[in-house]
Chains A and B, each alone.
Chain A
Amino acid sequence: MNPIDVELNGQPATLPPGSTVRDLVTEHTGKPLTEQGRALDGTRLGVAVAVNGDIVPRSAWAGYTVPARSRIDLVTAAQGG
Chain B
Amino acid sequence: MMTKTQTHDPLQIAGVALDSRLVMGTGGATSLATLEEALVASGTEVTTVAIRHYAAAGGDSVFAMLERLGVLALPNTAGCYTARDAVLTAKLAREALETNWIKLEVIADEHTLLPDPIELFSAAEQLVSEGFDVFAYTNDDPALAQRLDDVGVCAIMPAGAPIGTGLGILNPHNIATIVNRASVPVILDAGIGTASDAALAMELGCEAVLLASAVTRAHNAPLMATAMRDAVNAGRAARLAGRIPKRDLALASSPAEGTMQTLAGQFQ
Contacts and interface: CB of A to CB of B under 8 A. Distances in A.
Contact of B52 (A28, A44, A57, A75): A75
Given A76-B63, A77-B75, A47 B50 contact: no
B54 A75 contact: yes
B29 A73 contact: no
A9 interface: yes
Interface stretch (B96-104, B140-148, B179-187, B258-266): B96-104
A74 B53 contact: yes
A53 to B, nearest CB: 7
Contacts of B28: 79
SS class of chain B's interface: helix, strand, loop or mixed? mixed
Contacts of A45: 96
A29 B50 contact: no
B91 A55 contact: yes
Contacts of A30: 57-58
Interface in B97-156: 97-98, 103, 105
Contacts, number: 103
B150 to A, nearest CB: 25
B94 to A, nearest CB: 8
Contact of B27 (A58, A73, A75, A80): A80
A58 B94 CA distance: 11
B91 A76 contact: no
B116 to A, nearest CB: 16
Given A80-B76, A81-B26, A48 B93 contact: yes
B209 interface: no
A79 B49 contact: yes
B97 A81 contact: no
B52 A78 contact: yes
A12 interface: no
Given A50-B92, A81-B50, 16 more contacts: A9-B53, A74-B53, A75-B52, A76-B52, A77-B75, A77-B97, A78-B62, A79-B27, A80-B25, A80-B52, A80-B76, A80-B79, A81-B27, A81-B49, A81-B77, A81-B78
Interface of A: 9-10, 28-30, 43-50, 53, 55, 57-58, 73-81
